[in-house]
Amino acid sequence: MIPLRAALIVAAGIGSAMLARAQAPDPYAIVTFGEFREMAMQRDYAAKTTLAAALADGASDGVGALADARGEITIVDGVPVITYGGAAEHPPAAEENAMLLTTAIVRAWQEIPVGRDVPPGDLEPFLAKQAKTHGFDPEGSFPFRLHGTVTAYVLHVTSGPGSGHPPLTQETRKGDAVDGLVVGLYVAPQLVGIATHPGERTHSHWVSENRRQTAHLDAWGIRSGAVLLLPKRIGGRAGPNRP
């Protein structure tokens, strides 16, 4: 297991949703709070939503970062997993704020065995191909998960504002392989730079097998034998169609 500081699992309370930016209707109700490019260019670390508000609409999955760049957030099955960087304060979950967060609602998953190693450079084409094979538009946005071994990984936990680009202080780890869960979103071109780093179609977080630690994945591959999860079609659709 990777030693990341101050890992914490928290269950968020329910509150009224405060949507910083809601996208057009889609089968997964993908919603974004804040924009990565505003954080990077304008050094905007302010809160865009509370976790309670973000979860009030029933989000099952999500990836993002805490306000003031104090750590990482991953939502799995409606429960946030938070890892704080440095000596960040740990307020009650319902009061915790996010400077960046993208959420999705998935009610059922289909499992797709991964029969070959996927290197980091082939990851996004692999996800796009799998989406198309299973009836999803690779030019649209969709959530995904992966159970298994992540290879050739670089991950980080933010621990505060910084002077680099992106302007964040980060605790970084690298390695050849680590087991766990990946929670991610593959986004449409119009969300690149908003829900993801510029030039990237995916925003992915690693979660430990016991769901007590999480981190942002800067680079990662897949070892053969893993299982990719894509939304399962319900009643002819890929998930709930919500306005």
Instruction: Report d(CA 117, CA 148) in Å as an integer.
Output: 12
| H-helix or E-strand spanning residue 171 | strand 168-186
pLDDT digits (tens, 9 = 90+) for 95-154: 789 999 999 999 899 999 999 999 999 999 999 999 999 988 889 999 999 999 999 999
| Per-residue pLDDT band at 162 (split at 50, 70, 90) | confident
Instruction: Report d(CA 108, CA 69) in Å as an integer.
Output: 32
- In this prediction the pTM is 0.85
Q: Hey, what domains does the chain have and what are their CATH numbers?
A: 7-104 (3.30.1330), 109-231 (3.30.1330.80)
> Which has the minimum average pLDDT: 22-26, 209-213, 227-231?
22-26
Mean model confidence pLDDT for the chain = 84
On whether the CB atoms of residues 32 and 101 are closer than 8 A, the answer is yes
Looking at residue 71, its pLDDT comes to: 94
Instruction: Report d(CA 64, CA 50) in Å as an integer.
Output: 12
Looking at residue 164, its pLDDT comes to: 76
Q: How far is CA 234 from CA 24, 112, 231, 241, in A?
A: 20, 17, 9, 10
pLDDT digits (tens, 9 = 90+) for 35-84: 999 988 889 999 999 999 888 888 899 999 999 999 999 999 999 999 99
Instruction: Report d(CA 194, CA 188) in Å as an integer.
Output: 10
Would strands 142-161 and 71-76 be described as parallel, antiparallel, or unpaired?
unpaired
